Structure 1
Amino acid sequence: MLARWDRFDRDFENLLRSFGFQADVAGPFLGRSPRDGEKLTAPADIVETAAGYQVKVDLPGVDPKGLNVQLDKDVLTISAERRAETRTEKDNVLRMERVHGTFARSFVLPHNVDASKIEAAFEHGVLTVTLPKKEEEKPRTIDIKVN
C-alpha cells in the first residue's frame, strides 16, 4: 500500500493556491475525498457574449431534482448534493475516487444582467445558466416646462 507524502501534498496545494485555486483543490488529484462536512466545488466557465453571460458548471452524477439555483440581489448561487452509492457488506471496494457530498458556488453578477430573464438548463451533467443583458437605455430628450 502506498503512503501519502504529506510534504508533497502541502507543496502541491500551495502551488495551486498561488494560482488562485481554493484550499484542498489538490485532493482529487492526490486520490483524496473531502473530509466529512466539507463542501465540494465544481468547475465553472463563465463566458460573455453580446447578448449576455453564460455560466456552465460541471455536475456529473448530480440528480437534477437536488440541484438548486438561487438569485439573491446580485449574487447567483448554485448548490447541489452528489449522494454516495449504496453498497452492501459483500461489496469489496478496491478503489473509490469519485467524491460525494454537498457543494455550493456563488457568483456576483454584473449590474447589466436582466434578472427577470435568467434561465437554467441541465443536460449531460452540465448546468448552463443563461444571464441576458438588460437593454441599454437610449438617450432621450426631456421637455422643459415654461411657466
Structure 2
Amino acid sequence: MLAKRGELSSIFKPFEELHREIDKLFDDAFKGLSIRPEDRENFIPAVDVYETDDAIFLEMEVPGIKKGDLKIKLEDGVLSITGEKKYEKKEKSRNYHLIERGYGSFNRAFRLPDSIDTTKVKANYDNGVLKIELPKKEEAKKEAVEIKID
C-alpha cells in the first residue's frame, strides 16, 4: 500500500528533525573550535626573555609580519613593541572548519631595569623571530671573584 502525499511528509518528519539536530550538534562543535578573525580581539605573540652576564635578550615570535610593520620604541625605561598581523582573505572555494592562527594588532611593553645601556640596544628580525639585545651598563655586569681558602 502506497502512502499518500501528506502521509509521506509525516513519515519522514522525525528523520528531518533528527537531521536538523545532528547539523546543530556539528555546528555547535565546530563553533567552539573555530576562531573567526573578526572575533579575535587580541593577537599576543609569544616572548622569551633571558639574561647573560653582558645583556638581556628578548625573542618574540611574529611569523607572517613584515619587518616594516613592526615598531620598537624605548621611552622612560619601557620597551614597547607594536605590530599587526593582517588577515588575508581565504579562497571562497574552500570551506574552512578551523582557523587557529591569530590575527590582529598587538602591543607588548616591558619595563627595563636601570642596568640596561639604552644607547646600545640592537634589534634583528629573521625567520619570523624578532630578537632584541639589551646590553648591560659596564658597572652592572657581574664579575666573579675567586676567594682563596686559608
TM-score (norm 1): 0.67
The Cα RMSD (Å) is: 2.7
Unaligned runs of 5+ in 2: 1-25, 141-150
Contact 2:70 2:83 in 1 (8 A): yes
| Residue number in structure 1 paired with 2:51 | 48
Structure number having the greater helix percentage:
2
Aligned residues: 115
| Residue number in structure 2 paired with 1:68 | 71
| Residue number in structure 2 paired with 1:99 | 102
Unaligned runs of 5+ in 1: 10-29, 138-147
TM-score (norm 2): 0.66
Report the structure number with the largest CA radius of gyration: 2
Of 128, 131, 135, the match for 1:128: 131
Q: Structure 1 residues 99 and 33 mapped into 2: Cα distance closer, same or farther (>3 Å)?
A: farther
The 4+ residue runs of structure 1 with deviation greater than 4 A are 33-37
Name the amino acid aligned to 1:39: N
Contact 1:33 1:99 in 2 (8 A): no
Of 69, 76, 82, the match for 2:85: 82
Q: Distance in 2 between matches of 1:35 and 1:71?
A: 31
Question: What do residues 33-81 of structure 1 show as CA deviations (whole Å, max 9, x unaligned)?
Answer: 5755723211111111111100001111111110111111100011110
Q: Structure 1 residues 79 and 110 mapped into 2: Cα distance closer, same or farther (>3 Å)?
A: same
Question: What do residues 107-141 of structure 1 show as CA deviations (whole Å, max 9, x unaligned)?
Answer: 0001010000001000111100000001118xxxx
Of 92, 107, 112, the match for 1:109: 112
Q: Distance in 2 between matches of 1:107 and 1:54?
A: 12
Identity of aligned residues (%): 33
Q: Distance in 2 between matches of 1:34 and 1:92?
A: 15
Contact 1:34 1:40 in 2 (8 A): no
